[in-house]
C-alpha cells in the first residue's frame, strides 16, 4: 500500500530515513471538517480516538494528552490520588529516552534508576528490589524498541511490595508478552504518538487504564487539575489533545493493522539479515513468548571490535542510512541529571548500550530493497575493517 511520507522521512534526503507519518485521506477529511466547524480543541474526534485506541488494547479507558512525555507525567501524578506524596519514588530503567525520567520529575516525584539488561535493553528485574524503599510508589518499566520488559517478574515484585505499575509503552504499540498486549498489563500504560511512532497524531500521547478512578484523575490532571466548573482540585497540567491531532490518529487507527504488518515484515527481515553478523552486533531478537512492537531496529557493537560506534555511525550516515543514538543512561550520561550525584560506572549496561548502540528505521514507508541497502552498507563497512561477513 502507499503511505503519505511525512517530514521525518524526507529529512536530509536519506536513502533509509528513520521515521514517517501516515496521514490518510480520511484524516484529511476529518481535519477539514474540524476546521470548518471551528471546533478544533478537544471534542468529538478526541473522544472517538480515545474510545477506539482503548478498545484496540481491550482497555476500559483512554485519556488522550499532548505528548508521550505528558502521558508518563500524568500517570505519575495520578499516584497522588492513591496515597503518594511529593518526592515519593518511582523506579525506572536507567536506559530510556530522557522523557521517561523527566516525566517523573515533572510530576513532583523522584525517579530511582535501575540498570538494564544488555540483550533486552530493558530494566533488569533482578536489580529492582534492592532499590525499593518505604517511599517507593510505582515501577515504570519501558518496553524499549518495542521489546516487552520482563512483566511476570515485575508484576510479582509490584504485588509483593504493593506498588503500581506504569508501563511506558511509548515505543511498543502492537507488542505482546505471553499472549497479553503490552499496554494492557500495568495499572496504567503510556503511549507516545509522536511522528516517528507506530500510531501517530504527529504530537500526542495516550494513557490507558481499566480503573475508573484513575481515568477520572487523569482527565482532571490534563486540564489544570479541574474537577467541577473552575474548581481546581489537583496541581494539574495543560496537556489536552486537539481535534486535528485526533483526526490524524483516527486515520492511523484505520490502517493500524497494515502499518503493523509492514513494520513487522521490515523488522523480521532485518533480524534475519543481521543474524550472520551476530558475532559483531547485538540486535533485536524476538523470543517465543513475545511479539515485538516494530518501532525501530537497534544495533549494539559487541566488545572487542576494531572500530568504535561513532566511526561506524558516521559511515552509515554518510551512506544515507539515518540513525539515532540508543538513548542514554539518564542518571550518568545526561548532564541534566548530574545533580543526583551518580557516577559513570553505576549503570554499566545502560552506559554500554548508549556508548555502543544506535538504531535505524523500519517504518511502513521503507521497502525491503532499502533494508537490503542498509545491511549492505553495514557489511561494506565491516569489510573495510578487514572483517569477514
Closest to ligand PLP by CB, 115 vs 168, is 168
Three cell numbers, residue 227: 474537577
Which segment (66-74, 78-86, 111-119, 232-240) binds ligand PLP by CB under 6 A? 66-74
Q: Are 7 and 181 in contact (CB under 8 A)?
A: no
Smallest gap from Cβ 296 to ligand PLP, in A, equals 10
Rounded to the nearest 5 degrees, what angle is found at the Cα of 294, between the Cα atoms of 290 and 300? Answer: 90
Closest to ligand PLP by CB, 183 vs 205, is 205
Cα 279 from Cα 296, distance rounded (Å): 21
Task: Please state the φ and ψ torsions of residue 110, each to the nearest 5 degrees.
Answer: -120, 120
Which segment (35-43, 61-69, 286-294, 341-349) binds ligand PLP by CB under 6 A? 61-69
Cβ partners under 8 Å of residue 383, min gap 6: 389
Q: Which of residues 280-309 bind ligand PLP (CB under 6 A)?
A: none
Mapping DSSP to helix (H, G, I), strand (E, B) and coil, where does residue 56 land? helix
Q: What's the alpha-carbon Rg for the chain, to the nearest Å? A: 21
Which segment (19-27, 165-173, 330-338, 359-367) binds ligand PLP by CB under 6 A? 165-173
> Residue from 168, 243, 355, 365 that binds ligand PLP (CB under 6 A)?
168
Shortest CA distance to 293 belongs to which of 203, 202, 189, 214?
A: 189
Strand partners, 207: 63, 190
Helix-then-strand count for the chain, H and E: 13, 16
Three cell numbers, residue 2: 502507499
Site membership for ligand PLP, residue 140 (CB under 6 A): no
> Residue from 24, 69, 239, 252 that binds ligand PLP (CB under 6 A)?
69
Task: Please state the φ and ψ torsions of residue 212, each to the nearest 5 degrees.
Answer: -60, -40
> Residue from 192, 323, 329, 333 that binds ligand PLP (CB under 6 A)?
192
Site membership for ligand PLP, residue 75 (CB under 6 A): no
Closest to ligand PLP by CB, 72 vs 88, is 72
Closest to ligand PLP by CB, 222 vs 273, is 222
Site membership for ligand PLP, residue 170 (CB under 6 A): yes
> Residue from 49, 113, 177, 194 that binds ligand PLP (CB under 6 A)?
194
Site membership for ligand PLP, residue 18 (CB under 6 A): no
* Residues near ligand PLP (CB under 6 A): 67-69, 72, 96-97, 99-100, 142, 168, 170-171, 192, 194, 205
Amino acid at each position: 500500500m502507499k503511505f503519505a511520507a511525512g517530514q521525518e522521512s524526507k529529512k536530509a534526503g536519506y536513502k533509509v530515513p528513520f521515521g514517517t507519518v501516515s496521514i490518510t485521506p480520511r484524516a484529511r477529511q476529518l481535519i477539514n471538517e474540524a476546521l470548518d466547524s471551528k471546533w478544533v480543541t478537544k471534542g468529538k474526534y478526541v473522544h472517538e480516538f480515545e474510545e477506539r485506541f482503548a478498545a484496540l488494547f481491550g482497555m476500559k479507558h483512554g485519556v488522550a494528552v499532548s505528548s508521550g512525555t505528558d502521558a508518563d507525567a500524568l500517570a505519575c501524578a495520578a499516584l497522588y490520588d492513591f496515597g503518594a506524596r511529593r518526592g515519593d519514588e518511582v523506579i525506572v530503567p536507567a536506559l530510556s529516552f530522557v522523557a521517561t525520567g523527566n516525566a517523573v520529575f515533572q510530576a513532583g516525584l523522584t525517579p530511582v534508576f535501575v540498570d538494564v539488561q544488555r540483550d533486552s535493553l530493558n530494566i533488569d528485574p533482578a536489580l529492582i528490589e534492592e532499590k525499593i524503599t518505604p517511599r517507593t510508589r510505582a515501577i515504570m518499566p519501558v518496553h524499549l524498541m518495542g521489546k516487552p520488559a520482563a512483566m511476570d517478574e515485575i508484576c510479582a515484585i509490584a504485588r509483593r511490595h504493593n506498588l503500581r505499575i506504569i508501563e511506558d509503552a511509548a515505543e511498543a504499540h502492537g507488542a505482546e508478552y505471553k499472549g497479553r498486549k503490552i499496554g494492557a498489563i500495568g495499572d496504567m500504560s503510556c503511549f507516545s504518538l509522536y511522528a516517528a511512532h507506530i500510531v501517530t497524531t504527529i504530537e500526542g500521547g495516550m494513557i490507558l487504564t481499566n480503573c475508573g478512578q484513575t481515568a477520572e484523575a487523569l482527565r482532571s490532571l490534563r486540564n489544570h487539575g479541574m474537577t467541577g466548573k473552575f474548581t481546581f482540585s489537583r496541581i494539574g497540567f495543560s496537556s489536552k489533545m486537539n481535534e486535528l491531532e485526533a483526526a490524524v490518529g483516527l486515520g492511523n487507527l484505520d490502517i493500524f493493522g497494515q502499518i503493523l504488518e509492514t513494520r513487522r515484515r521490515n523488522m523480521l527481515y532485518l533480524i534475519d539479515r543481521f543474524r550472520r553478523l551476530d558475532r559483531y552486533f547485538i540486535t533485536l531478537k524476538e523470543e517465543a513468548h513475545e511479539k515485538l512492537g516494530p518501532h525501530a531496529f537497534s544495533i549494539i557493537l559487541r566488545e572487542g571490535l576494531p572500530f568504535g560506534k561513532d566511526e561506524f555511525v558516521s559511515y552509515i550516515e554518510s551512506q544515507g542510512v539515518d540513525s539515532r543514538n540508543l538513548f542514554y543512561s539518564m542518571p550518568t550520561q545526561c548532564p541534566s541529571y548530574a545533580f543526583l550525584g551518580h557516577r559513570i560506572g553505576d549503570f554499566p549496561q545502560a552506559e554500554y548500550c548508549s556508548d555502543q548502540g544506535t538504531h535505524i528505521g523500519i517504518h511502513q514507508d521503507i521497502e525491503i530493497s532499502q533494508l537490503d541497502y542498509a545491511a549492505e552498507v553495514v557489511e561494506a563497512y565491516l569489510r573495510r575493517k578487514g572483517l569477514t561477513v
